[in-house]
Amino acid sequence: MRRNIAAGNWKMNLTLKSANELAVSINNLEINDNVDVILGAPSVFLANIVELTKDNKRVNVAAQNCHQAEKGAFTGEISIPMLASIGVNQVIVGHSERREIFNESDQDIKEKVDALLLNNMTPIFCCGEPLMIREASGQNDYVKKQFENSIFHLGENEIQKLIIAYEPIWAIGTGKTASPEQAQDMHAFLRQLISDKYNHDIAENISILYGGSVKPANAKELFSQDDVDGGLVGGASLSLENFGPIIEAF
């Protein structure tokens, strides 16, 4: 069955001390059995955060990116075996900031998804349209293409291992959240796409998270939508004060 997930994406924020403190305070929360928490920490802090949360079944640690090659001359990059060797088993791939600022293509993301699955890791696959596309009502076709280009080559056994995060770019860091209806419409569309391509059971079992200005004030309503299984949270995941109530919003 699909899980409720509160995932934080810390992006390029915090320092060792503040990251550790935040991880410890989240680790100490009473987290409901029906919720999984994911902490998307910067690479340099991953090993620490894994260590701090290792006895907590409700808290998992994700990397924010990885390279698709197993090893080699890629200065500054981080491989999947490196992440596996420090106990990380989930990786965010295809975040719009990676796509837009670092020019990652659908093909790059496809290769990362493949490499992660090959290493028994969970890809947290991000998708979502820019404002211009939304204004022209082209969001469904746009995200469908992202699925076709990066994940729809996967077999039935593989696709089920993904977590999907729909993050409309116009809602990221802007304070402009998608309305619960907009989120639900897109999530239902994506679930239907997966059902058409694979089958109903697979579609029903995949967690689809919403991301883009999720806050304590809007999390409950967003997460209560039928096809919204949680959130991928940026700014509001950086403090216990904000992320705590989001974890409790299911």
Q: Rule CB under 6 A: which residues touch ligand 13P?
A: 9, 95, 167, 172-173, 211-214, 232-236
| Residue 21: active-site member | no
Report the chain's terminal Cα–Cα distance, integer Å.
Answer: 16
**Candidate list 67, 129, 167, 187, residue with the active-site label:** 167
By beta carbon distance, the residue nearest ligand 13P is 234
Cβ neighbours of residue 19 closer than 8 Å, sequence gap 6 or more: 10, 41, 42, 45, 48, 49
In angstroms, give the least distance from the CB of 175 to ligand 13P.
Answer: 8
Please say which residue, 147 or 170, places its beta carbon nearer to ligand 13P. 170
Q: Closest approach of Cβ 96 to ligand 13P, in Å?
A: 7
Residue 127 main-chain phi, psi, to 5 deg: -145, 170
How far apart CA 186 and CA 96 sit, in angstroms, is 17
Q: What is the CA radius of gyration of the chain?
A: 17
Active site residue 167: yes
| Residue 183 near residue 228 (C-beta atoms within 8 A) | yes
Cα distance between residue 20 and residue 218, in whole Å: 27
Task: Specify the length of the chain in residues.
Answer: 250
**Can you read off the two tokens belonging to residue 245?**
């109530």
CA 13 to each of CA 17, 30, 113: distance values in angstroms, whole numbers, following the listed order: 12, 25, 25
DSSP letter, residue 127:
E
- The DSSP letter of residue 139 is H
Q: Which is nearer to ligand 13P, 147 or 243 (CB)?
A: 243
For residues 50 and 230, which CB has a smaller minimum distance to ligand 13P in the complex?
230
Max alpha carbon distance in the chain (Å)? Answer: 48
Q: How far is the CB of 211 from ligand 13P (least distance, A)?
A: 4
Considering the complex, what minimum distance in angstroms separates the CB of residue 201 from ligand 13P?
28
Q: Which is nearer to ligand 13P, 118 or 217 (CB)?
A: 217
Contacts of 250 (CB under 8 A, 6+ apart): 4, 6, 32, 34, 35, 223, 230
Name the residue nearer to ligand 13P (CB basis): 120 or 174: 174
Question: Among 67, 95, 97, 129, which one carries the catalytic annotation?
Answer: 95
Cβ–Cβ under 8 Å, residues 94 and 11: no
Kindly state the smallest distance separating residue 74's Cβ from ligand 13P, in Å: 24
Closer CB to ligand 13P, 123 or 212, in the complex:
212
Least distance to ligand 13P, CB of residue 172, Å: 4
Active site amino acids: 95, 167
